[in-house]
Amino acid sequence: MPASIAHVVGLSLALVAGGTGLSGLSSGGDPYFPLDGNRGYDVAHYAIHDTYRPGTDRLRGTTVVRASATEDLSRLSLDLVLPVDKVLVDGRPADFSKPNRHEVHVQLPDPVAAGDSFTVTVRYHGSPSTLSAEGMRPNSDLYFHRPGETVAMGEPQNGAWWFAANETPADKATFDITVRVPRGEDVVSNGSLVRHDVHDGWSGWHWRVDEPITTYMAFFAAGRFRLEQGTTDGRPYAYAVSRLLSRDDQRTALRRLRMTGDLVAWLESVLGDYPFGEIGGVIPDVPAGYALEDATRPVYPWYQGSRASWRLLMVHELAHQWFGDDVALRRWEDVWLNEGFATYMEWWFAEQHGGRTVAEHLQDQYRGIGAGSDFWQVEVSDPGPDRMWSNPVYVRGAMTLAALRNRIGDYDLTEVLHQWLADHHRDHGTGAEFRALAEQVSGQNLDGFFQHWLDDTSKPEATSENGLG
């Protein structure tokens, strides 16, 4: 996401280890969002089947969660904002209650032993844009709806408004997303379009992601869109632009999205193979104030900007397909691994396309921000939930990589990035692991370097040890 964009928090699915009560067990262990996730299971696949009316924001659906237990389970706790109609566990009805705005407590018909697989089927209904929970507000923070068009997206969570989701980045899964809308309307989601059919006044759209992704990277956009599909350099693409935009804006928006293939090709030239099977992008006309790197198909807010400004925005979101989508976080304290890296890729792109060099970006930021600025008072390696989307996480994160390039050399930094992506492909990475890799590749002790750039809350000194000499 671009640095100026506000981000939000949401809710999660949590499977609770049985026998010792709910308190403290419905947590994946992330101190930023302690309600999210659970350490007692791992989700392999989500099969989402929603019926949705963009005109009225009425949704009815079913999510089948296929998971395996990592410890003995006797109860489940699911976070789902929508009212719940029924819960099945391995096809058997399960007793459940909804004690608060977002939680659903489920008693398993039979205990599930550690190592065993199981499925949880949840049926639900409601109007997502009318439901707020845990400080999350649709049309302000996530889940953007206007009459006739909706984009279900949000970071770090969004699933609880339209499917039952284990909203922790530590748990990745594959997805089948099927959304049925009234005939004549369209649905765009992640991955490849498996099937589109029209029957009895309804239009069904089935999208599939074969690569594991985090739940906050799953999305759907529903309404009337200009959908353009094809292949570029042998890779399937799908671009979608809202028909609520003016005709001139629709044409310009499609021209912007068509830059995706060339931008992905450039990113591949410096980072290695694109980690997904499909590319694309969506430009809706809903009141979202930010872009989001939804896996395979980022969503961009429409604005009247230059081609150059759009290229940098798109480079940032497309870079997240590597940094954030393919290599995901385990804990949100390491969010700089997503945003700092994507911002650095903007600088690298500019350097290779006639703009300022990475070194110039670093020096401009360093010299232009005084030592007393709040910019230096954020602990980038652990900014806290209230500052995790602040400008320093993006810009000081990018400055860290730029300074590291000066410290260990361009060749070694490129090797670090390539090795990072190879080691953590379709998995997770942590800040500690990145620091260790940089030391391994460079053969240097970088403890002080990373301390000054990421951990300290003061401006680093302009020394060669800090990559500034």
d(CA 113, CA 107): 15
Per-position b or e across 112-149, b if 16+ CB within 10 A of its CB: beeeeebebbbbbebebbebebbebebeebbbbbbebb
Average pLDDT over residues 211-223: 97
**Once rounded to an integer, what is the mean pLDDT over residues 236-244?**
98
Mention every residue, 6+ apart, whose C-beta is less than 8 A from residue 357: 351
The CA distance from 79 to 28, in Å, is: 13
13-46 confidence digits (pLDDT tens): 444 444 443 322 567 788 998 877 777 889 999 9
Query: Are 13-319 and 331-455 the same fold in CATH?
Result: no
Q: Considering the chain, what is the average pLDDT of its residues?
A: 92
Residues 6+ away with beta carbon under 8 Å from 252: none
pLDDT score recorded for residue 33: 86
Which of 99-108, 233-242, 345-354 has the least mean pLDDT? 99-108
Torsion, Cα of 217, 220, 224, 225 (10° steps): 30
Mean pLDDT of 373-383: 98
Q: Which of 204, 191, 223, 207 is nearest to 294 (CA)?
A: 191
Report domain extents, the chain. Answer: 13-319, 331-455
pLDDT greater than 60 at residue 224: yes
* pLDDT at residue 67 tops 70: yes
Please state the pTM of the whole predicted model. Answer: 0.94
The candidate with the shortest Cα–Cα distance to 55, out of 113, 129, 109, is: 129
- What is the pLDDT, as a whole number, of residue 86? 97
Q: What's the pLDDT tens digit per position in 142-198?
A: 999 999 999 999 998 899 999 998 888 999 999 999 999 999 999 999 999 999 999
Residue 410 burial by CB count (10 A; 0-12/13-18/19+): exposed, middle or buried? exposed
Percent of the chain residues past pLDDT 70, beyond the cut? 94
Main-chain dihedrals φ then ψ at residue 437, nearest 5 degrees: -65, -45
Residue 1 pLDDT level (bands cut at 50, 70, 90)? low
Using 50, 70 and 90 to split pLDDT, how confident is the model at 133?
confident
| Residues in CB range of 379: below 8 A, 6 or more apart | 454, 455, 456, 457
Alpha-carbon gap, residue 387 to 440, rounded angstroms: 31
Residue 7 clears pLDDT 80, i.e. is over it: no
pLDDT tens readout for residues 425-467:
999 999 999 999 999 999 999 999 999 999 999 999 999 999 9
Q: Where is average pLDDT lowest: 19-28, 94-103, 299-308?
A: 19-28
The pLDDT value given to residue 25: 55
CATH 3.40.50.2300 is right for the domain spanning 13-319? no
| Beta-carbon contacts of residue 410 (< 8 Å; ≥ 6 apart) | none
- Mean of pLDDT values over 123-134: 93
How large is the average pLDDT for residues 42-53? 97
* pLDDT for the residue numbered 77: 80
What torsion do the CA atoms of 78, 64, 186, 5 make, to the nearest 10 degrees?
40
Mean pLDDT of 67-80: 88
- Domain range 331-455, its CATH number among 2.60.120.260, 1.10.240.10, 1.10.390.10, 3.90.950.10: 1.10.390.10
Residues 283, 243: Cα–Cα separation, whole Å = 10
Residue 335, pLDDT above cutoff 80: yes
